[in-house]
Amino acid sequence: MQEFSPSYGEIEHITKNIRRITAPNPAPFTFKGTGTYIIGHGKVAVIDPGPDIPSHIDAILTSLCDEQISHILITHNHKDHSPAAKPLAAKCGAKIYGFDVCKQQLADIDAEEGIDKNYTPDILLKDGDIINGMNWTIEAIHTPGHLSNHICFAYREEQSLFTGDHVMGWSTTIISPPDGNMADYLESLEKLRQRDDKIYYPTHGLPIKNPKQFVTQLIGHRLRRDKEIKKAISGGACTIDEIVGVIYAMIDKKLYLAASRTIFAHLIRLVELGDVKCDGKPSESSKYHLPQ
């Protein structure tokens, strides 16, 4: 666990051209709160304005009272990342930039962090799009997995990457089907591993200063989890509850749902690979077994 004690409502200077204000929404899935990043000076970009908490929105506006917010960039539409975008845009006149929302999100689904179903970007981004600002350049890197519309933002002038919830320093990322997808997540991690970013800035927690090594460890962790799941099944665990009970024997009840959802995401991928079998389409109530 990272040692991180932000001063809510106060602007922090991370580098010469990167600042952060942390929202007062600490919780099991947000760590100490949502870190809203500010890029540049004069005309600035705001990344992940966070939850619709009036005091946080006011803190952003007050901290930037002598500057203009020209762009609002959203990594994905969980409720701890995007809901403040609309009220912030209404007050500053900036456009909201983000990836399109998958139709699956329009269904009656929810995730541990909660889906912001009112999320509607003004400017739809796609992988590789370049956003030019006042003395800064940002590239949109589509990284589906945590959600299908997750984007990381590469700040070219500093070779840094704002990773949202795709890569976090304080915890592993929750992958919750149906919109969360483990195969996509691993592909997106490999995509980042091929890049030359010097540092990552996750929305929750502290910067990650050894990104290639860190991503390699994340991929290794997920592949080890695959092996643990198959071992649990070979030992007689055939339902998600039983598998979670074997792998997370001492888990806090508050984290049980997140663990079971991520195990389900692993199982979907393992069934697709043919490494695990079940009757019919994988579901939360399916019984799983190894191939004969």
Q: Specify the range with the lowest mean pLDDT, choosing from 12-21, 26-35, 171-180, 244-253.
A: 26-35
pLDDT at 186: 98
Tokens describing residue 37: 């990043």
pLDDT at 229: 98
13's tokens = 């200077």
Least Cα distance to 188 among 230, 150, 245 occurs for 150
Mean pLDDT check: name the lowest of 11-25, 137-151, 188-202, 250-264: 250-264
Residue 103 has pLDDT above 70, yes or no: no
With bands split at pLDDT 50, 70 and 90, how would you rate the model's confidence at 108?
very low
**Mean pLDDT to the nearest integer, 264-282:** 96
Tell whether the model's pLDDT for residue 113 goes beyond 60.
no
pLDDT in tens, 246-269: 998 887 777 788 899 999 999 999
Q: What is the SS3 string spanning 153-210?
A: EEEHHHCEEEEECCCCCCCCCCCCCCCCCHHHHHHHHHHHHCCCCCEEEECCCCCECC
CATH of the domain spanning 12-209, picked from 3.60.15.10, 3.30.413.10, 3.20.20.70, 3.40.50.1000: 3.60.15.10
Computed over every residue of the chain, the mean pLDDT equals: 92
Of 57-71, 98-112, 243-257, least confident by mean pLDDT is 98-112
Which CATH architecture fits 223-289?
Orthogonal Bundle (1.10)
CA-to-CA distance for 67 and 72, rounded, in angstroms? 14
Residue 230's CB: how many other CB atoms inside 10 A?
Answer: 17
Mean pLDDT check: name the lowest of 10-24, 121-135, 249-263.
249-263
pLDDT at 42 over 90: yes
DSSP the chain: -------TT--EEEETTEEEEE-S--BTTTBT--EEEEESSSEEEEE---S--HHHHHHHHHHTTTSEEEEEE-S--BTTTSTTHHHHHHHH-PEEEEPPPPGGGGSS---SS-B-TT---SEE--TT-EEE-SS-EEEEEE--SSSTT-EEEEEGGGTEEEEETTS-SSSPPP--TTT--HHHHHHHHHHHHTS--SEEEESSSS-BS-HHHHHHHHHHHHHHHHHHHHHHHHTT--SHHHHHHHHTTT--GGGHHHHHHHHHHHHHHHHHHTSSEESSS--TT--EE---
User: Comparing C-alpha atoms, which of 246, 105, 253, 238 is closest to residue 177?
Assistant: 105
Q: Residues, the chain, total?
A: 292
Spatial contact of 45 and 133, defined as CB atoms under 8 Å apart: yes
pLDDT (0 to 100) of residue 261: 93
Residue extents of the structural domains in the chain: 12-209, 223-289
pLDDT of 65 strictly over 60? yes
At 104 the pLDDT is 56
pLDDT tens-place string over residues 185-239? 999 999 999 999 999 999 998 899 999 999 999 999 999 999 999 999 999 999 9
